[in-house]
Structure 1
Amino acid sequence: MASDYDEVRPDVKESQESSLEALRTENTPDARSVVKELDEADTVDGVDLPGDYIAEELIVEVVPPKKDEFVCSSCFLVHHRSQLAKEKGGHAYCLECEG
């Protein structure tokens, strides 16, 4: 006897219909309650960030560029003059940013 394999099996069809009915009768939240829950979850008071919090001020020594160095106007990295690709309008660009 030939079988139609594209036809939905009866047990699968019944379970699909019952799950659809369950979704229709389920108590779904309204948009205001969802927004309220999201706002409550966004509070920063109860959030613990990973790692240790150090309440010290960082001190960084800023070293000006040397005579053979320049700061690229695109990537803002300090490069040696041998990496200078173009200087336009007082702005210097490195080989990586220009290429």
Structure 2
Amino acid sequence: MAADYDELRSDVKESQEQSLQALQSASAPTAKSVVRELDETEGLDAEGPGGEIVAEELVVHVVPQGNDEFMCNSCFLVRHRSQIARTKNGLSYCVDCEG
């Protein structure tokens, strides 16, 4: 007797039908409930990763560009003058960008 190997087995077919029925009976969130949830969590932006409120300022010390440094006009990084590859119209480019 020839067997049809493309046909699904009966136990697989039953489990697929059961999972489909479970998905159809499950309650999916509505658009209004999703918007409501987003509005409720909107006020949490000022909290840190652990849920605590962060009340400290970030202090950054800015060091001015030195006499032996230049800013590359391609990558905008401040580099040492020894890394100048070319200067055109008063604009300098670093070795990495001209590579």
Same fold (TM over 0.5): yes
Q: Which amino acid aligns with 1:62?
A: V
Task: Give matches, 1:1-99, under 5 Å.
Answer: 1-44=1-44, 47-49=47-49, 55=56, 58=59, 60=61, 62-66=63-67, 68-99=68-99
More helix by share: 2
Q: Alpha-carbon deviation of 1:14?
A: 1.2
User: Please, which runs of 5 or more residues in structure 2 have no aligned partner?
Assistant: none
User: Please, which runs of 5 or more residues in structure 1 have no aligned partner?
Assistant: none
Q: Percent identity?
A: 53
Q: Which amino acid aligns with 1:60?
A: H
Query: Alignment RMSD, CA only?
Result: 2.7
State TM-score, norm by structure 1.
0.70
8 Å contact from structure 2 (residues 65, 78) kept in 1: no
SS in 2 for 1:27: coil
Q: Alpha-carbon deviation of 1:9?
A: 0.8
